[in-house]
């Protein structure tokens, strides 16, 4: 095999498979075996899908017959366990969904498969995607491949860890308030949250419907661009998807930064919350882009100061409504009742939900239910929605002056397992740089650009774009990637 599968790009691999230089079966077998070997150390995958080998053989047969195969022909993927996969248990890392086997694929998964990707398995996450450290999973914490004592970030921690350890060639995560970008930063991979409405939410377990988006978490900017092309675009099954044509992001990638205008958010400038290594990486990224000819402009988004409050209010409110469907009747888990006949219905619901949901999920349901309750709705949820609109207006003004905004992804790099899980407020505050992107419906991404000085843990740079301007942030990320001081650095588990 002339292809080095640990470094090969998705398009190189798919082309080599289509040209019969290597078979899809060989490639998928390689990654499946690698996952089987390394996953016990990381706990990144919740479930493996041995059928991926059959999927790969089908692709090889199509190629043998001269049939057309897609741009991801034979490229093995891991899928966050929040996305429905036909015939494969989908749990959202909750006891509540144990045993739920969807009869259909989410649109994202269906599109990946149509493009020839194989599905190696389902990736761990915080329960119902609520969390920033992957410690709230019913299936246990995921270890950061750079140092197993540290969290991989969350909620798409399994996706980030699996990708960083290159257990697969690509993964899919979801991002409601930072869950693609923050774990990508913590594990040193490239992750992009598309514009709200760019990617279909059909078949994705809903957390906060007005904020959720799925996107790629992969090894390179080019792979991110290609994967996004495949999964994006109008879907009849999700009325919020945009009819806008999907550009050829990967072919259009352009690292020329001359004349590009990059925004720096005034309000982020003197934040004392930011860890010194993150500040250093951020300043280094700015210097690099300046050296490449980019111009910098200061923009002001005063309402970002309320982003975390707005986000936790709105996301918890929507979650409390979305999670009402898990009642022990329709899906997954039901408490083991001895005598169903004589049982009052509310006891049936209450006991099932008390046993089925974890602590963090219950906290959000309680908070959300309170915010939506009569007498409080206008004061909390209604007000937050109004401020959210104003925040979006402030971004519109900022993007009249620049092509992309640069910022840190999170206030701190990865932290040790067990050190923050008992302090939810501290955990929530880590999301200060990511949540406003979702509130305004903007595309955002993280690209690796540094390592911490003490323990060599990855640090990413966040790029945020105006609505449907994914190409612009991908281009800046592409330029940063080419000049990244951590280019080629991989975790020990490799
Ligand atoms: N950390 C945020 C939360 O806990 C973001 C989660 C997400 O984006 N899914 O809600």
Above 80 in pLDDT, residue 384? Answer: yes
Q: Note the pLDDT of residue 493.
A: 79
> Which of 94, 106, 136, 155 is an active site residue?
155
Strands 295-299 and 170-175, by their bridges, are: unpaired
- Report residue 106: phi and psi, to 5°: -60, 155
> Which of 23, 179, 242, 315 is an active site residue?
179
Radius of gyration of the chain, Cα coordinates, nearest whole angstrom? 22
How many helices (H) and strands (E) would you count in the chain?
A: 16, 11
Above 80 in pLDDT, residue 193? Answer: yes
Please indicate whether residue 266 is annotated as part of the active site.
Answer: no
Q: Note the pLDDT of residue 492.
A: 82
Which domains can be identified in the chain, with CATH numbers?
Answer: 10-257+442-482 (3.90.1300.10)
Across 375-479, where does the E strand assignment appear? Answer: 404-408, 444-451, 458-465
Above 80 in pLDDT, residue 2? Answer: no
Q: Note the pLDDT of residue 128.
A: 98
Any ligand 1 atom below 6 A from CB of 129: yes
Any ligand 1 atom below 6 A from CB of 132: yes
Nearest-CA residue for atom 5 of ligand 1: 177
Please indicate whether residue 132 is annotated as part of the active site.
Answer: no
Q: Note the pLDDT of residue 366.
A: 97
Above 60 in pLDDT, residue 1? Answer: no
User: What's the pLDDT band for 165 if we cut at 50, 70, 90?
Assistant: very high
- Report residue 392: phi and psi, to 5°: -60, -40
Q: Note the pLDDT of residue 429.
A: 86
The pLDDT of 119-143, averaged and rounded, is 98
Q: Note the pLDDT of residue 436.
A: 98
- Predicted TM-score (pTM) of this structure: 0.98
Distance CA 165, CA 6 (A): 9
pLDDT tens-digit series, residues 219-274: 999 999 999 999 999 999 999 999 999 999 999 999 999 999 999 999 987 677 89
Distance CA 372, CA 367 (A): 9
User: What's the pLDDT band for 430 if we cut at 50, 70, 90?
Assistant: confident
Q: How remote is the CA of residue 131 from the centroid of ligand 1, in Å?
A: 5
Above 80 in pLDDT, residue 464? Answer: yes
The pLDDT of 356-382, averaged and rounded, is 95
CA 223 to centroid of chain Cα atoms: 15
The pLDDT of 175-182, averaged and rounded, is 98
| Residue 371 bridge partners (DSSP) | none
Distance CA 408, CA 446 (A): 9
Closest ligand 1 atom to residue 431 Cα is 1
State both tokens at 332: 């997954």
Q: How far apart are the first and last CA of the chain?
A: 19
Any ligand 1 atom below 6 A from CB of 360: no
pLDDT tens-digit series, residues 292-304: 999 999 999 999 9
The pLDDT of 297-324, averaged and rounded, is 97
Q: Note the pLDDT of residue 269.
A: 78
DSSP 292: T
Nearest-CA residue for atom 10 of ligand 1: 130
Please indicate whether residue 159 is annotated as part of the active site.
Answer: no
The pLDDT of 103-123, averaged and rounded, is 98
The pLDDT of 290-317, averaged and rounded, is 97
> Which of 9, 23, 80, 242 is an active site residue?
80
């Amino acid at each position: 095999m002339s292809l080095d599968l640990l470094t090969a790009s998705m398009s190189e691999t798919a082309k080599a498979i289509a040209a019969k230089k290597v078979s899809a079966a060989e490639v998928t077998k390689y990654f499946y075996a690698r996952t089987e070997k390394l996953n016990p150390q990381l706990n990144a995958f919740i479930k493996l899908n041995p059928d991926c080998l059959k999927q790969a053989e089908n692709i090889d047969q199509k190629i043998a017959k001269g049939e057309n195969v897609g741009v991801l022909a034979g490229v093995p993927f891991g899928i966050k366990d929040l996305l429905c996969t036909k015939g494969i248990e989908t749990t959202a890392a909750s006891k509540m969904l144990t045993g739920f086997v969807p009869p259909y694929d989410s649109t994202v998964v269906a599109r990946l498969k149509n493009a020839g990707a194989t599905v190696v398995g389902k990736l761990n996450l915080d329960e119902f995607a609520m969390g920033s450290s992957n410690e709230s999973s019913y299936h246990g914490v995921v270890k950061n491949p750079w140092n197993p004592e540290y969290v991989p970030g969350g909620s798409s921690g399994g996706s980030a860890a699996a990708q960083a350890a290159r257990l697969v060639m690509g993964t899919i995560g979801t991002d409601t308030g930072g869950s693609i970008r923050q774990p990508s930063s913590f594990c040193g991979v490239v992750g992009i949250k598309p514009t709200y409405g760019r990617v279909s939410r059909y078949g994705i377990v809903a957390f906060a419907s007005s904020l959720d988006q799925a996107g790629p978490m992969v090894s390179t900017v080019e792979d991110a661009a290609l994967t996004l092309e495949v999964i994006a675009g109008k879907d009849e099954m999700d009325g919020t998807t945009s009819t806008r044509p999907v550009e050829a992001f990967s072919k259009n990638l352009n690292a020329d930064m001359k004349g590009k205008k990059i925004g720096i958010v005034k309000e982020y400038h003197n934040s004392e919350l930011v860890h010194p290594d993150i500040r250093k990486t951020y300043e280094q990224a700015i210097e690099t882009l300046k050296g490449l000819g980019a111009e910098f402009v200061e923009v002001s988004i005063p309402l970002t100061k309320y982003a975390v409050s707005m986000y936790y209010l709105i996301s918890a409110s929507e979650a409390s409504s979305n999670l009402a469907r898990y009642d022990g009747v329709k899906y997954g888990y039901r408490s083991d009742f001895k005598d169903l006949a004589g049982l009052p219905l509310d006891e049936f619901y209450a006991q099932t939900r008390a046993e089925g949901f974890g602590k963090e999920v219950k906290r959000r349901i309680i908070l959300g239910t309170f915010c939506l309750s009569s007498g409080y709705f206008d004061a909390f949820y209604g007000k937050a929605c109004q401020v959210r609109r104003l925040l979006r207006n402030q971004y519109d003004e900022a993007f009249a002056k620049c092509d992309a905004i640069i910022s840190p992804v999170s206030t701190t790099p990865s932290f040790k397992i067990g050190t923050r899980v008992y302090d939810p407020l501290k955990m929530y505050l880590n999301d200060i740089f990511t949540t406003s992107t979702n509130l305004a419906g903007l595309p955002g991404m993280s690209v690796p650009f540094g390592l911490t000085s003490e323990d060599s843990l990855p640090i990413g740079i966040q790029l945020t774009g105006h609505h449907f301007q994914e190409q612009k942030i991908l281009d800046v990320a592409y330029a940063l990637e080419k000049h990244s001081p951590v280019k080629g650095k991989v975790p020990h588990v490799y």
